[in-house]
Amino acid sequence: MKLYPLLFEPVLKERIWGGQRLGDLFGKNVPAGARIGESWELADLPEGQSIITNGPLQGQTLHQILESCGTEITGIPNYRPPFPLLIKFLDAQDVLSVQVHPDAATCKRLGNCQPKTECWYIIEAAPQAVIYKGLKPGTTRQQFAGAIADGTCEQYLVNVPVQAGECHFLPSGTCHAIGAGLIIAEIQQPSDTTYRVFDWNRTDPQTGKPRALHIDEALESIHFDASGDRLSVETVGRLVDADEFKVDKCHQAASVQVLLSGRMRVLIILAGKGQISAQGLEPICFQKGQTLLIPAAFEGVMHFASPCHYLTVTI
């Protein structure tokens, strides 16, 4: 069967810090009153599996089609799992925990975890919204461990005011937190390994107890020799150019764009709408809030019904 651009059913995740904005902004099927913090747009993990919603492959999971035609989809010769990307929308109505994700070397030492480098594209930001990105220069492991113990670790975090249109790169080993009032597109390696060091003294509304912390693992994972003031922020063109993935910001005012075969693309549609066509293919319509996987083997044309703002992710 000839491969074609794939659309997926979002996997919604309730979080203590989430809200209703992904329904308001992107039309996600957010239950009334639910605190939906994450919409997993493209995932092949045990914790979340994307299901195709269009064309002859409708109803199959991303994992199933990768088993049968992984190389044709990803463009990776002799493809073997895992799928190299995890794409999410985040609705942070409250601040997230202070946390870190391990790198590959740390995962080898700790075992039973997966590395995660990520980036955050700011879609919407409330006035005075901030993120916490890395540690201040000179912060030592001993200092930070003491601050965790007495609940004052915020003093060592780099506080960064943010606005819509920015992309912040966070390599694995970076201590970080997302502040309140932000809608974010998160592009990352396929891992949900998160080590919390501080959760702002919150309790889980369902259990009434504080959420679990992972202080030993976090201290082992943090890169104390890489201060957060040097981490990049981009607003135009190539936003991320890392070994793990590349992200480009696109604003298409013209009516047509040709899609050539040879590499997989993931399109995250942030504004506008259109359709993709190819010989022998029913047109595939897309709109704001959708994420499309364009297989490496596919060739076709994108037609834009209105100016379209989107992110293109490649590996």
- The 3-state DSSP class for residue 71 equals helix
Please indicate, yes or no, if residue 282 is contained in any of the structural domains. Answer: yes
Are residues 286 and 231 located together in one domain of the fold? no
End-to-end CA distance of the chain: 24
Domain C-terminal end among 193, 216, 236: 236
Q: How confident is the model over 243-300, as pLDDT tens digits?
A: 999 999 999 876 888 999 999 999 999 999 999 999 989 999 999 999 999 999 999 9
> 79, 96, 198: which is closest to 149 by C-alpha?
198
Domain C-terminal end among 213, 236, 259: 236
Are residues 286 and 206 located together in one domain of the fold? no
Are residues 11 and 118 located together in one domain of the fold? yes
Are residues 125 and 273 located together in one domain of the fold? no
Please indicate, yes or no, if residue 241 is contained in any of the structural domains. Answer: no
The residue from 196, 211, 230, 265 that is catalytic is 196
* DSSP of 81-137: SSPS-EEEEEEESSPPPEEE---HHHHHHH-S-----EEEEEEEE-TT-EEEEEEPT
- The 3-state DSSP class for residue 185 equals strand
User: Which residues on neighbouring strands pair with residue 8, listed in sequence order?
Assistant: 52
Are residues 90 and 165 located together in one domain of the fold? yes
Token representation of residue 35: 């605190």
Q: Is 15 a catalytic residue?
A: no
Please indicate, yes or no, if residue 103 is contained in any of the structural domains. Answer: yes
Please indicate, yes or no, if residue 1 is contained in any of the structural domains. Answer: no
Are residues 163 and 64 located together in one domain of the fold? yes
CA–CA dist 77, 70 (Å, integer) = 9
Domain C-terminal end among 204, 236, 268: 236
Are residues 172 and 225 located together in one domain of the fold? yes
Q: What is the CATH number of the domain that holds 272?
A: 2.60.120.10
Contact 98, 154 (CB under 8 A): yes
What's the pLDDT score for residue 148? 94
CA–CA dist 257, 308 (Å, integer) = 11
Q: For the chain, which residues score pLDDT lower than 70?
A: 254
pTM to 2 decimal places: 0.95
Are residues 229 and 309 located together in one domain of the fold? no
Are residues 298 and 166 located together in one domain of the fold? no
Strands 182-188 and 86-92: antiparallel
- The 3-state DSSP class for residue 92 equals strand
Domain that holds residue 172: 6-236
Please indicate, yes or no, if residue 202 is contained in any of the structural domains. Answer: yes
Are residues 215 and 258 located together in one domain of the fold? no
Phi, psi dihedrals of residue 227, rounded to the nearest 5°: -75, 150
Q: Cα–Cα distances in Å, from 273 out to 13, 17, 122, 305? A: 26, 30, 20, 6
Are residues 23 and 162 located together in one domain of the fold? yes
Token representation of residue 182: 């932000």
The total domain count for the chain is 2
Q: How confident is the model over 59-83, as pLDDT tens digits?
A: 999 999 999 999 999 999 999 999 9
Our measurement of the distance from residue 204's CA atom to the centroid of its chain's CA atoms, rounded to an integer in Å, reads 24
Amino acid in position 245: F
CA–CA dist 98, 159 (Å, integer) = 12
What's the pLDDT score for residue 226? 87
User: Which residues on neighbouring strands pair with residue 33, listed in sequence order?
Assistant: none
Please indicate, yes or no, if residue 92 is contained in any of the structural domains. Answer: yes
Strands 44-45 and 48-49: antiparallel
Please indicate, yes or no, if residue 107 is contained in any of the structural domains. Answer: yes
Are residues 31 and 175 located together in one domain of the fold? yes
Please indicate, yes or no, if residue 45 is contained in any of the structural domains. Answer: yes
